[in-house]
């Protein structure tokens, strides 16, 4: 990822299929609007589907994740509360049937090799494709279409998804996140401190500015 004029970077651990990650980014956008200089997002992928993914990449929904209907209903209620709080419209409340691994593979490769603004445009487009439009971001053709919408060659998406080294690099990022003690997303980290969850703009200000 290229160097930017701003020296401040906020580390964000997230998974595209996490609704609270989408809402957390909305909160971050509101905080960014209060700053004189923008924070660069240092994005790190996190895998919420790791315990359910079969060897062929498909998701086994029969695996007991410890999350029952009551959990998902509470999650939906939490999502709706934050939608109202942050004034965010969403097509979905949860996305249990979507696997974000393909999106994370492409996004991480772009973050490593493209200009920051190019990666950020793709990242935001992926989030909107899922949470605003209800599209399956685990589908290669959907990702190619999303990439084209922000000026990235669709063929490049298919090339990245076919590269096993790219998949290995993302899995290594998942492992490193666990080693760093990240147990849930979103997690925002700055200067040795962290905040977990879709925290409000004022909490992000305290994290970054200590106020």
The 10s digit of each residue's pLDDT in 81-136 is 999 999 999 998 999 889 999 999 999 999 999 999 999 999 999 999 999 999 99
Q: What percent of the chain has pLDDT over 70?
A: 96
pLDDT in tens, 142-167: 999 999 999 999 999 999 999 999 99
Three-state SS annotation for 72-107: HHHHHHHHHHHHHHHCCCCCCCCCCCCCCHHHHHHH
Residue 58: is it exposed, middle or buried by C-beta count within 10 angstroms (0-12/13-18/19+)?
exposed
pLDDT in tens, 15-38: 999 999 999 999 999 999 999 999
pTM: predicted TM-score of the whole model, two decimal places: 0.92
* Least confident interval from 11-15, 55-59, 70-74: 55-59
pLDDT in tens, 61-96: 788 888 888 989 999 999 999 999 999 999 989 998
Q: Are the C-beta atoms of residues 12 and 43 closer than 8 Å to each other?
A: yes
**pLDDT at site 152:** 97
> 187-190 and 193-196: which strand pairing?
antiparallel
CATH topology of domain 9-209: Glutaredoxin (3.40.30)
**pLDDT at site 7:** 59
- Name the pLDDT band for 53 (thresholds 50, 70, 90): confident
Tokens 């290669």 sit at which residue?
A: 140
């Amino acid at each position: 990822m290229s160097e930017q004029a701003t020296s401040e970077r906020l580390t964000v651990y997230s998974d595209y299929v996490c609704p609270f990650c989408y809402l957390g980014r909305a909160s971050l956008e509101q905080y960014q609007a209060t700053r004189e200089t923008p924070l660069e997002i240092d994005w790190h992928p996190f895998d919420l589907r790791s315990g359910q993914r079969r060897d062929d990449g498909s998701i086994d929904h029969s695996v007991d994740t410890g999350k029952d209907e009551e959990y998902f209903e509470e999650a939906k209620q939490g999502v709706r509360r934050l939608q109202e709080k942050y004034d965010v419209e969403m097509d979905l409340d949860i996305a249990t049937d979507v696997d974000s691994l393909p999106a994370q593979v492409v996004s991480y490769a772009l973050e490593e090799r493209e200009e920051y603004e190019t990666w950020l445009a793709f990242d935001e487009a992926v989030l909107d494709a899922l949470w605003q439009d209800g599209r399956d971001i685990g589908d290669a053709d959907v990702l190619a279409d999303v990439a084209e919408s922000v000026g990235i060659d669709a063929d490049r998406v298919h090339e990245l998804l076919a590269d096993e080294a790219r998949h290995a690099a993302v899995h290594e990022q998942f492992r490193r996140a666990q080693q760093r003690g990240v147990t849930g997303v979103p997690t925002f980290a700055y200067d040795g401190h962290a905040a977990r969850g879709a925290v409000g703009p004022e909490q992000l200000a305290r994290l970054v500015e200590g106020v």
